[in-house]
Chains A and B, each alone.
Chain A
Amino acid sequence: QKEVEQDPGPLSVPEGAIVSLNCTYSNSAFQYFMWYRQYSRKGPELLMYTYSSGNKEDGRFTAQVDKSSKYISLFIRDSQPSDSATYLCAMSAENQFYFGTGTSLTVIP
Chain B
Amino acid sequence: NAGVTQTPKFRILKIGQSMTLQCAQDMNHNYMYWYRQDPGMGLKLIYYSVGAGITDKGEVPNGYNVSRSTTEDFPLRLELAAPSQTSVYFCASGYRLSSSYEQYFGPGTRLTVT
Interface residues on A, range: 20 to 34
Interface contact A100-B42, CB-CB below 8 Å: yes
Residues in B with CB closer than 8 Å to A101 are: 40-42
Residues in B with CB closer than 8 Å to A61 are: none
A55 within 8 Å of B by Cβ? no
A1 within 8 Å of B by Cβ? no
Residues in B with CB closer than 8 Å to A96 are: 45, 48, 58-59
Interface residues of B, dominant DSSP:
strand
Residues in B with CB closer than 8 Å to A53 are: none
Interface contact A98-B105, CB-CB below 8 Å: no
Given the interface contacts A44-B90, A101-B40, does A49 sit within 8 Å of B59 by beta carbon? no
Interface residues of A, dominant DSSP:
strand
Please tell me which one of the listed residues B31, B44, B100 contacts residue A95 in the complex, with CB atoms under 8 A apart.
B31
Please tell me which one of the listed residues B4, B33, B42, B99 contacts residue A88 in the complex, with CB atoms under 8 A apart.
B42
A59 within 8 Å of B by Cβ? no
Query: Using an 8 Å CB-CB cutoff, how does the interface string of A74-109 with B read, 1 for contact, 0 for none?
Result: 000000000000001010100111111110000000
A60 within 8 Å of B by Cβ? no
Interface contact B42-A102, CB-CB below 8 Å: yes
A35 CA to B82 CA in the complex, in Å? Answer: 32
A18 within 8 Å of B by Cβ? no
Residues in A with CB closer than 8 Å to B106 are: 43
Would you list the 6 A-B pairs with minimal beta carbon distance, nearest first? Answer: A43-B105, A99-B43, A51-B99, A101-B42, A32-B101, A99-B42
